[in-house]
Chain A
Amino acid sequence: MQYIIVGIGGQGILFAGKVLGAVALEKKQRVTGSEVHGMAQRGGSVISHFKTGDFISPLVRAGEADVLLAFDQNEGIRNLHFLREGGAFVVNVHDRSAFDNLKLKEFLEERRISLFPLEGYSLLKEHMGGNFLFLNVLLMGAMSGAGVGAPSLEDTAAAVKTLSPAKFEDANMKVLKLGYEAVVKK
């Protein structure tokens, strides 16, 4: 499996790679991925690559990702070229109108890309008092909800528990489920 995770520096996208890594390790899969640190991380476009299986390089080639997980819809659309035909696009949407763009619709259709949108900010406002720091866990939930070869909700929950402080456990589990359900019922 090959994943591309994109967003804006500060949104916590490194966490997604850690969760995927922990899940894969549990399943005894080989893992390699690439992260962004330093200046490139400050508020600008950020991208993480993640691969499980028999790879040497941590980088995903354009057109080969199975899943594109986007913390920001603009960054997601900008990086759609990474997705293979038939890949899954899990995206945090803040402005639905962009997805009415005809060219974009046509592209997604032609490449048979499954779209899994969720309005993360609205969900966190409604259910988590507007604490947007939970965005990363929310999107991990959404990715498991999307299925598409992504880790199951149970595996993701176990990894999130291991990787985050115990005091956030209850909130994290709530948010994970929130993300899962936002996508799975569609």
Chain B
Amino acid sequence: MEVSRRVSARAILLGNEAIARGIVEAGCLVATAYPGTPSSEILPAVAKYADELGVPMSAEWGVNEKVAFEEAAAASFTGARACAVMKQVGLNVAADPFMSIAHYQLKGGLLLVSSDDPGPHSSQTEQDSRYFAMFAKVPCFDPATAEEAREMVFDAFDLSERFGIVTMLRPSVRVDHCRQDVQEKITPLRPGPVKFEKDPSRWVCLPAFVRINHPKLNQKMVDIREAFEKEFAKYNYEVPAKGKATLGIVASGSAFAVVSDILKGAGRDDVSILKIGTPHPLPVKMVNDFIARHDKVLFLEETYPVMEMQLPDRTGIMGRWNGVVPGAGELLPEVIAGVLARVLGDDSLVGGAHPLLKEAIEELKILPRRPMLCPGCPHRASFFSIRQALPNSVNPSDIGCYALGVNQKAVDTVIDMGASITASSGLFLAQKAVGEEKPVVATIGDSTFFHMGLPGLVSAVYNRHAFVLAILDNATTAMTGGQANPAVGTKLRKGDEGKRVDIEGACRGCGVEYVRTVEAYDVAAGKAAVKEAWEHAKSKGEPAVLIFRHPCMLLRPEQPSIPVEVDQDKCIGCKFCINFFNCPGLVFSEEKGKAYIDERFCVSCGVCVSVCPHGAIRATSGEVE
């Protein structure tokens, strides 16, 4: 099948869409992913472009990152190009196959896209995936712009095939979520061919084979480093100063983009920059030559000192090792400007808020708004029911929107995907050892349950751990923007049909005897169900599962509109609704000492009517649509 289209225009793309174009255009046959900010938009864009161009490739969500990575890796064993996409903490989940596959002499190109989140904005760590590349002995590309990221996809596939090694593309959030004009030049390569050849010495990681492959992997690193020194001038290049440089900066990824704009804006053309797009293995000769030509050298990279660490001697440079660059947080323009101001002794580079503005903000009591569950979110109702049913319970939760249940004092622990269940087991075991029986009610989302919840649940059934697991099924993967998952059953590509996996059935299949489903908005039923589930768990000595079901507001479900109001005479200003329901549409007036409905945000879901212990919140009479 011939796939060809040429467009020589520029289009404005999200960085993730640019990466997706690269994946489709580079002839990738199998693309897999698990959604995670900031990487989530890549795979849906792959599916969209593949549909538009009629490319015969697979693009689908794996149930977690380990599944997704293993699928892509095995697909590449056939000689076809394959890629797996995830966020940085997703790579922790896929670490096992990633470390192992690094040793293989691969056949088809295999690309791992691991998106980092310095800051972090939407993650439990701000770890640096490039470190993982170093740990696994895998080459890594670190794009500074959307256009470069797209270009690097092609080179990463080529390099993978040339050396028979998995390669990593590490965009950070400012590349994933930038919106830039990108050259469109689509002539997609044809995916394939597909032929799996049996060869246990190649595809079976027995220790005997690893002992042969590890030295080979070391040699690959030597050869790839050499290639990065000589052949990748489009990613590794110097932006020279005018005349003698007062400072040399070695920068990669977003930090390069930011520092370039700052220096240009400030008219500091006396600083030269060595831009590195292949931070691992570091082209050490190139970097050392640059260092030797400058009196002062500063390293800027996110988020860990990966380039610094690879220098044979870093004592002469300024960076993270000596505290010149902060050891945590995103390298925002103001942070880099602050570092430059100190290094160059140029105070004009430092901005800082105007004292008058600072005072005005203080006087007006304006604070940054914390993330909150959306108005009408079914999770809010579920958390309220759980807290009210068992106020003295401990509440482990999980990764997803529902971590925001912390605003309702209904989330006590969050570790990583699936840990609501295993943390419940741990808390149960600790209590059991000292003869205590405090209720534990865990919360997890539908997608997260399938991602990594199942093994913990099986373990809890087998070991007879008594707790309640509340699965908050909103029929989507909401936090990352609404991707499908097994409980939904739909897939990404046109005409590609999935099969729905039933949560209730899955729990029963794992041996859970008590499985009940309630409408999340029905607070009275929810409270009764939580009490009943805990009684079952306690008396039978086993986990009980409650499914709170109601679609996510992002899906814009059709539901009755119940406009509400706060009776100002009945409201006693106790803030119960603020502290335990915490809805953007229900706010407190410090001036009046009473709650009121903020019509800017209220979506008239009507749930808060059952929240006020004094009956002050009621449906607006006669106006129910």
Contact = CB atoms under 8 A, between A and B. Distances in A.
B359 interface: yes
Contacts, number: 178
A22 B13 CA distance: 10
Interface string A59-85: 111111000000000110110110000
A61 B334 contact: yes
A57 B261 contact: yes
B208 interface: no
Given A56-B260, A57-B258, A98-B364, A44 B265 contact: no
A106 B356 contact: yes
A30 B369 contact: no
Interface string B323-363: 00000000011100100000000000001111011011101
Interface residues of B, number: 60
A124 B349 CA distance: 43
A87 interface: no
Contacts of B372: 42-44
A60 B262 CA distance: 10
Interface in B46-61: none
Contacts of B306: none
A37 interface: yes
Interface string B354-387: 1011011101101011111111000000000000
Contacts of A57: 174, 254, 257-258, 260-261, 333
A64 B265 CA distance: 9
Nearest to A35: B177
B121 A39 contact: yes
A81 B354 contact: yes
Given A21-B12, A45-B369, A38 B40 contact: yes
A127 interface: no
A37 B371 contact: no
Interface in B267-301: none
B368 A78 contact: yes
Given A32-B179, A37-B38, A37-B40, A43 B260 contact: no
Contacts of A61: 261-262, 265, 333-334, 337, 351
A40 B371 contact: yes
Nearest to B370: A44
Contact of B373 (A43, A74, A94, A101): A43
Given A37-B40, A40-B122, A101-B364, A56 B178 contact: no
A22 B481 CA distance: 23
Given A25-B10, A38-B37, A103-B363, A58 B357 contact: no
- Name the residue in A34, A60, A106 with the highest tally of chain B Cβ atoms < 10 Å from its Cβ: A34
A64 to B, nearest CB: 7
B29 interface: no
Contact of B121 (A29, A30, A36, A111): A36
Given A34-B177, A61-B333, A45 B364 contact: no
- Name the residue in B361, B403, B481 with the highest tally of chain A Cβ atoms < 10 Å from its Cβ: B361
Interface size class for chain A? 35 or more
B456 interface: no
B19 interface: no
B354 A37 contact: no
A42 to B, nearest CB: 4
B547 interface: no
Contact of B12 (A31, A36, A42): A31
Given A38-B121, A43-B373, A78-B366, A94 B600 contact: yes
Contact of B356 (A21, A34, A103): A103
B180 interface: yes
A37 B360 contact: no
Contacts of B265: 61, 64
Contacts of B601: 10
B344 to A, nearest CB: 16
Contacts of A80: 357
B363 A39 contact: no
Contacts of A121: 599-600
A145 interface: no
Contacts of A34: 174, 177-179
A168 interface: no
Interface of A: 8-10, 17-18, 21-22, 24-25, 28-45, 50, 55-64, 74-75, 77-78, 80-81, 94, 98, 101, 103-104, 106-107, 110-111, 121, 130, 132
29 contacts: A10-B601, A21-B179, A29-B181, A33-B178, A36-B121, A36-B177, A38-B479, A39-B122, A40-B121, A42-B374, A42-B404, A43-B369, A43-B371, A43-B373, A43-B584, A44-B369, A44-B371, A58-B178, A59-B258, A59-B261, A59-B333, A61-B262, A61-B351, A64-B265, A80-B357, A101-B363, A104-B356, A104-B360, A106-B356
Given A22-B12, A40-B37, A44-B368, 11 more contacts: A10-B374, A24-B12, A25-B12, A32-B181, A37-B40, A59-B174, A61-B351, A103-B357, A103-B360, A104-B357, A106-B356
Q: Considering the complex of A and B, which 5 residue pairs feature the smallest CB-CB distances, nearest first?
A: A38-B37, A38-B122, A43-B372, A57-B257, A44-B371
